[in-house]
Chain A
Amino acid sequence: MIDKLKIFFNKFFAKVFRKKKHVKIGLYGPPNAGKTSLANRICQDWLGEEINMGTVSEIPHETREIQVKEKINIKKKGKEISFNLIDTPGIATKIDYEEFTAFKMNKKKAKERAKEATKGVIEAIKWLDNMDTVVVVLDSTKNPYSQVNITIIGNLAARDIPVLIVANKVDLKKSNMKKIEAAFPQYPIVGVSALKGNNVDEFYEELIKTV
């Protein structure tokens, strides 16, 4: 109860006194959904072509530490937002080093990666209360009804943090936007390809609305 009151007052004062330029937007989602690809896309579009937030890999859990990029300005249709972007490690219920050895990584490195990925999940969850808005990045080629997706989105609702869902990888044949929309009908959803840049303008417009 005290925690809930604390959260309420923190949010209340944050809303009253917060300077818009210090809004914190977090990218959350399962591993390999494309959070870092989207972060890189945002940085390239608004900070300059050479600027990246992190490395992208087909091996899950490539991002294992929180990454922060400060002071990003987005302008669309006469509206503007300024924010700090926080890219987080992918959230998973199970992390097994054998998942990485399947990519020909040696056992020692794979175990180290599993440990760091576990640490990353814990860190990402601990940071959640500090976010003003969260962009949940999902892989639109995968089943949206996963424990990870539902737990993340449910917890954001409970914390009263505004959510924008990005259904990534719409350029792939297996992508199924309708399934994502059916799973989370109460949230704004934008389908994009962070890698190829499809539909990112609509994403920026929605982001401005959500913030």
Chain B
Amino acid sequence: MPHQCVKCGKLYPAGCEELLKGCGCSGRFFFFVKDEAVEQAKEVTENLTKVEKNQIESDVLDIVGDKFEDKPVILDFESIKIKKPGKYELDLVDLFKGRPIVYKLQEGKYVIDIISSFAAKNLDKEVE
């Protein structure tokens, strides 16, 4: 499954070192894209200006309620497609399934779904 650097558009396979350290172009934000959607993702990133890419990056972080810190962040391009800042398409079936939307890799082994941990925190605080 390819991962695309949103900043420069370069594709990386799963398990690649760049996904842990960041892209050679200094990008730390990737789309996780299915093979069949690679062309669509390329089209999206090619049509974005630098300002728009930065905006999308910061919007995604805001949506997931997290900071970049030093680890790259990967957005599942199937669950949430962001074609331009302020334009979102959501795959409800995927979201209801509880599939990770945005995640980080740590030590090359663990996938952490940022939103799940974020939502659980909220529930503990407000409902229980």
Binding site for B on A (CB under 8 A): 3, 24, 66, 68, 84, 86, 91-98, 107, 110-111, 114-115, 118-119, 121-123, 125-128, 130, 147-148, 151, 155
Asked if A24 contacts B90 (CB within 8 A), the reply is no
Segment at the A interface, from B10-18, B41-49, B115-123: B115-123
B110 at the interface (CB under 8 A from A): no
Provide a sorted-by-A list of 28 A–B residue pairs whose CB atoms are within 8 angstroms: A24-B127, A66-B126, A68-B126, A68-B127, A93-B91, A93-B92, A94-B90, A96-B86, A97-B87, A98-B87, A107-B86, A111-B86, A114-B88, A115-B63, A118-B88, A118-B90, A121-B90, A121-B95, A122-B101, A125-B96, A126-B115, A126-B116, A126-B119, A127-B123, A130-B127, A151-B92, A151-B93, A155-B96
Residues of B near A110 (CB, < 8 A) are: 86
Contact B62–A115 (Cβ < 8 Å): yes
Give the interface residue-count category, chain B. 20 to 34
Ranked 8 nearest A-B pairs via Cβ: A97-B86, A111-B86, A126-B119, A114-B86, A95-B88, A151-B92, A119-B63, A155-B96
Task: List residues 42-99 of chain B with CB under 8 A from any CB of chain A.
Answer: 59, 62-63, 65, 80, 85-93, 95-96, 98
B127 engages A95 (CB within 8 Å): no
* Chain A, interface SS category: helix
Q: Report the minimal beta-carbon distance from B91 to chain A, rounded to whole angstroms.
A: 8
For the complex formed, measure the closest distance between the CB of A84 and the CB atoms of chain B, giving whole angstroms: 7
Residues of the B chain whose Cβ atoms lie less than 8 Å from the Cβ of A86: 127
What distance in Å separates the Cβ of A94 from its nearest Cβ neighbour in chain B? 5
Q: Residue of B at shortest CB range from A96? A: B87
Tell me the nearest residue of chain A to B55, going by C-beta. Answer: A111
Contact present for A123 and B88 (CB under 8 Å) = no
With A115-B59, A121-B90 in contact, do A130 and B95 touch (Cβ < 8 Å)? Answer: no
A92, A115, A123, A126: the one within 8 Å of B90 (CB): A92
Q: A84-B127, A96-B87, A130-B127 are in contact. Are A125 and B95 (CB under 8 A)?
A: yes
Least Cβ distance of B84 to chain A in Å?
Answer: 9
A115 to B92, CA, bound (A): 16
Other than A111-B85, A122-B115, A151-B93, give 8 A-B pairs with Cβ distance below 8 A.
A93-B90, A93-B91, A94-B89, A95-B87, A96-B87, A122-B63, A123-B122, A130-B127
